[in-house]
């Protein structure tokens, strides 16, 4: 294996990792605020893909409009899910909310199966994102270069929102002490809705770039990346946004590198994230950036 291939794989891994990271942010923020593993989050990725697919292939919108509308619509779906399914259970036992979350996940998968059918659809990749560039003899697909840049931009925007705005402060405060924030007169439901909107927006963004990377989409496509993103969130320390991004990079890069270095293990590719999850729980349950689980902070 020469340097060229290593470099290519590294870029590939960073690009995949940033996709996991974007999804992991949603898991970690929702868990931080309402202590719920939002099983439907991986499926929001799939929802984003299908919305963008519908926009481009069926409504003939320009790609940027379709992408933007898809992300906004997915954010709306995330908010609706929270309002309809999770909000009535805010004061119920944890297990009730978790069961509802798995119900929502199953509902999204199967209603999209009914609407779009189970046959994989070809995702129309805009020409800007197709093709490849050649840097000193090393060939990179455009999408692998663009993905991490876009992810970084959105991560910066998110960190700005979290640390420099009033609502960001409310989100961080909620993850610290739910009851006190409510007593301070913060509109808690609005802030939670914003967390769901941000998480779903980023998941849809990740979904769209995922679909351009692997342009065949089906209604069950969100499950695996969702699981890996959750592993990334735990690895990074659940509750920490930066941690989620770092966890995403680690999972993405190691997945690509392991397959590149040991091609005989390629069939087990999807099992690595699971092993990661188990090992993190065994040896460092608080993750890289995590503090005490009960006192998670962004």
Partner 1 sequence: MKLDRNNILTALSIALFFLFVWWANHHLTSYAVRIWEDTLIFLMLSAGYNLINGVTGQFSLEPNGFVAIGAYVTAILILTPAQKESMFIIEPMVPWLANLHMSFLPALIIGGIVTAIVGFLLGFPVFRVRGDYLAIVTLGFGLTIRVVSNNTITITNGSLGLKGIPTYTNIWWCAVWVVIAMIVIMRIVDSAFGRAMKAIRDDEDAAIAMGINTLWMKQIAFVTAAFFEGVGGGLLASLITIISPTVFTFFLTFELLIIIVVGGLGSMTGTAIATVLVVWGSELLRVVEQPMNIFGLHIPGIPGMRMVVFSILLIVIMIFAREGIMGQKEFSWDWLFNKFKGKRA
Residue ranges that bind partner 1, judged by CB under 8 A:
35, 37, 39, 85, 88-89, 92-96, 98-100, 102-104, 106-107, 110-111, 113-114, 118, 223-224, 227, 230-231, 234, 267-271, 273-274, 277-278, 281-282, 285, 293
**Which of 5, 224 has the CB closer to partner 1?**
224
Distance CA 84, CA 161 (A): 26
Backbone angles phi, psi at 122, to 5 degrees: -80, 120
Residue 42 CB, nearest distance to partner 1 (Å)?
A: 10
Characterize the bridge pairing of strands 132-135 and 138-141: antiparallel
Nearer to partner 1, 189 or 270 (CB): 270
As measured in angstroms, the least distance from the Cβ of 161 to partner 1 is 26
Task: Give me the least distance between CB of 270 and partner 1, in Å please.
Answer: 5
* Min separation Cβ 24 and partner 1, Å: 12
Pairing outcome for strands 216-217 and 138-141: unpaired
Contact 206, 137 (CB under 8 A): no
What string of DSSP letters covers 13-24? Answer: HHHHHHHHHHHH
Of 170 and 234, CB closest to partner 1: 234
Q: How far is the CB of 84 from partner 1 (least distance, A)?
A: 8
Q: Which is nearer to partner 1, 4 or 110 (CB)?
A: 110
Q: Based on CB atoms, which residue is closest to partner 1, 174 or 229?
A: 229
Look-up of token digits 């995949």: 16
Query: What is the rounded end-to-end Cα distance, in angstroms, of the chain?
Result: 40
How far apart CA 43 and CA 221 sit, in angstroms, is 8
Q: Which residues contact 116 (CB under 8 A, 6 or more apart)?
A: 50, 219
Least Å from the CB of residue 245 to partner 1: 19
Q: Give the helix ranges, DSSP H, for the chain.
A: 3-34, 41-53, 63-81, 94-116, 142-164, 166-176, 178-183, 188-213, 223-236, 241-261, 272-283
In this complex, which beta carbon is closest to partner 1, that of residue 90 or of residue 297? 90
Q: Shortest Cβ distance from residue 80 to partner 1 (Å)?
A: 13
**Other residues' Cβ atoms within 10 Å of the Cβ of residue 183:** 9
Which is closer to partner 1, CB of 90 or CB of 167?
A: 90
Output phi, psi for 39, to 5 deg: -60, -25
């Amino acid at each position: 294996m020469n340097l060229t291939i290593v470099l290519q794989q590294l870029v590939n891994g960073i690009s995949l990792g940033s996709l996991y990271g974007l999804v992991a942010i949603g898991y970690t923020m929702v868990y931080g605020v309402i202590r719920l593993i939002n099983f439907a989050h991986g499926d929001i990725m799939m929802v984003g893909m299908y919305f963008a697919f519908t926009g481009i292939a069926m409504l003939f919108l320009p790609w940027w409009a379709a992408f933007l509308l898809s992300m906004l619509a997915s954010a709306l779906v995330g908010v609706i899910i929270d309002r309809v399914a999770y909000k009535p259970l805010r004061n119920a036992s944890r297990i009730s909310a978790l069961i509802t979350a798995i119900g929502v996940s199953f509902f999204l998968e199967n209603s999209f199966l009914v609407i779009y059918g189970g046959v994989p659809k070809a995702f129309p990749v805009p020409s800007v994102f197709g093709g490849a560039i050649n840097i000193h003899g090393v060939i990179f697909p455009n999408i692998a270069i663009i993905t991490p840049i876009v992810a970084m931009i959105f991560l910066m925007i998110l960190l700005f929102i979290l640390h420099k705005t009033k609502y960001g402060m409310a989100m961080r405060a909620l993850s610290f002490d739910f009851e006190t924030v409510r007593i301070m007169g913060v509109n808690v439901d609005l802030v939670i809705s914003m967390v769901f909107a941000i998480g779903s927006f980023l998941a849809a963004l990740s979904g769209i770039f995922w679909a351009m990377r692997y342009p065949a989409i089906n209604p069950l496509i969100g499950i695996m990346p969702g699981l890996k993103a959750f592993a990334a969130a735990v690895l990074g320390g659940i509750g920490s946004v930066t941690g989620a991004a770092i966890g995403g990079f680690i999972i993405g890069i190691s997945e690509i590198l392991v397959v590149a270095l040991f091609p005989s293990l390629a069939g087990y590719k999807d099992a690595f994230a699971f092993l990661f999850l188990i090992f993190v729980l065994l040896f460092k349950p608080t993750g890289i950036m995590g503090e005490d689980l009960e006192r998670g902070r962004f």
